[in-house]
Amino acid sequence: MSAPAVLLEPHAPAPEAPSIDDRVRDVATVAAEHLARHERDATFPVEALDRMRDTGLLGLLVPRTHGGLGGTSADVIRAGTALGRVDMSVAMIFVMHCQQVAALVRFAHPRLRDELLPEIAAGRHYLASVTTESGKGGHLLTSQSALTAGQDGLAVDRFAPIVTGGEHADGFLVTMQSPHATSAQDVSLVYAHRDQLETERSGDWDPLGMRSSHSVALRLTGTVPAHHVIGEHGDFRTIVTTVFAPMAHLGWSACWLGTAAGALSRVVKLLRSPKNRGRADLDSELLLTRLSRARQRIDTVHALLEQTRRTVEAAPDLSVPRVQLLLNGLKITAAEQSYRAVDDLVDAVGMRHGYLKDSPTRLEQSLRDLRSAALNYSNDRLHLVDGKLALLDSEVRLD
Ligand X SMILES: Cc1cc2nc3c(=O)[nH]c(=O)nc-3n(C[C@H](O)[C@H](O)[C@H](O)COP(=O)(O)OP(=O)(O)OC[C@H]3O[C@@H](n4cnc5c(N)ncnc54)[C@H](O)[C@@H]3O)c2cc1C
Contacts with ligand X, residue ranges (CB under 6 A): 128-132, 137-138, 162-164, 210, 213, 215, 372, 375-378, 380-381, 384
**C-alpha R_g of the chain:** 23
Contacts of 373 (CB under 8 A, 6+ apart): 252, 256, 334, 335, 336, 338, 339
DSSP letters spanning 250-272:
HHHHHHHHHHHHHHHHHHHHHHH
CB closer to ligand X, 79 vs 140: 140
Give least dist CB 131 to ligand X, A.
4
How many Å apart are CA 262 and CA 362, to the nearest integer? 9
CB closer to ligand X, 93 vs 229: 93
CB closer to ligand X, 391 vs 396: 391
CB closer to ligand X, 210 vs 342: 210
CB closer to ligand X, 73 vs 164: 164
CB closer to ligand X, 99 vs 359: 99
Q: ∠289-292-295 over CA atoms, to 5°?
A: 150
Give least dist CB 163 to ligand X, A.
5
Give least dist CB 174 to ligand X, A.
9
Give least dist CB 103 to ligand X, A.
13
Give least dist CB 129 to ligand X, A.
4
How many Å apart are CA 73 and CA 393, to the nearest integer? 27
How many Å apart are CA 101 and CA 236, to the nearest integer? 15
Residue nearest to ligand X (CB): 137
Alpha helices in the chain (DSSP H): 5-8, 20-41, 46-54, 73-86, 88-107, 110-121, 236-239, 245-272, 285-314, 321-354, 363-370, 379-391
DSSP letters spanning 69-82:
----HHHHHHHHHH
How many Å apart are CA 43 and CA 10, to the nearest integer? 50
CB closer to ligand X, 72 vs 221: 221
Give least dist CB 297 to ligand X, A.
21
Give least dist CB 369 to ligand X, A.
8
